[in-house]
Amino acid sequence: MYKNKKFLAIIPARAGSKGIPNKNIIAICGKPLIAYTIEAGKKSKYIDEIIVSTDSDIIKGIAEEYGTRVPFLRPNELSNDRAKSIDVVLHAMEYYKNNNITFDYIILLQPTSPLRTFKNVDEAIEKLIKSNGASLVSVCKTQQNPIFMRSIQNKKLKEVMRFEGTSFRRQDLPDFYIFNGALYINSYDMLIQQKKFVDADTMPYIMDKKSSVDIDTMLDVRLVEVIMKENMNV
């Protein structure tokens, strides 16, 4: 709880994965991937309850081994490649509604962001609540500036973003940010009313590039292992 607001954190972890088989529980530095997100959530000063939403008995067992509740198994229609994160979150919220348990804010913690820490979670909560906001999303600065990007249309290069300035020196260009997938915080009311995580008033929580690595390929796995081993030696 923070400033009399209650927080529910949801970790979505379905069994299927096209890129990396059993991605959510693949071993990284001796722990299943999902364990890092569970530990970050459990160390938070402000999260009142943290659960894993999964369709897998194996993931359920691992989550419970690391001290996190799995109060239900996700239905098949919310466990395929077409399932949307917002629907997974709304499904979990419905479970609590049916059990007469209320929260003011919902936090989505995707297990593919193992370098996001409890400090990131708590800083983001503090920023959102102190600003009386309804939603916040974690972002990081893009490595590739969209001003330099081009699409190909009718076999010709087309600007992705028109730039009105006169200097193309990188240090003179504006910064751009991308969702890194590590952290979403929304008020309960916003999710019920809008059924989406981000709107025109959503606040950014900026994370550095290293902490923003998202596990999608085995190359990402190896990169995270290198970063974790470097952090252990600091």
Enclosing domain of residue 57: 7-141+177-232
Distant-in-sequence contacts of 189-195, Cβ < 8 A, 24+ apart: 189/134, 190/134, 190/135, 191/86, 191/89, 191/90, 191/93, 191/106, 192/90, 192/93, 195/86, 195/90
234 residues of the chain, pLDDT tens digit each:
999 999 999 999 999 777 798 999 999 999 999 999 999 999 999 999 999 999 999 999 999 999 999 999 999 899 888 889 999 999 999 999 999 999 999 999 999 999 999 999 999 999 999 999 999 999 999 988 888 788 899 989 888 777 766 566 667 678 889 999 999 999 999 999 999 999 999 999 999 999 999 999 999 999 999 999 998 764
Q: What is the pTM of this model?
A: 0.91
Residue 72 counted as domain residue: yes
Residue 20 counted as domain residue: yes
Residue 172 counted as domain residue: no
Residue 162 counted as domain residue: no
Helix then strand then coil, in percent of the chain rounded to 5, is 35, 25, 40
Residue 197 counted as domain residue: yes
Residue 219 counted as domain residue: yes
For residue 42, what is the domain's CATH number?
3.90.550.10
Residue 156 counted as domain residue: no
- Rounded to whole angstroms, how far apart are CA atoms 102 and 232? 39
Number of Cβ within 10 Å of residue 17's Cβ equals 17
Residue 166 counted as domain residue: no
The number of distinct structural domains making up the chain is 1
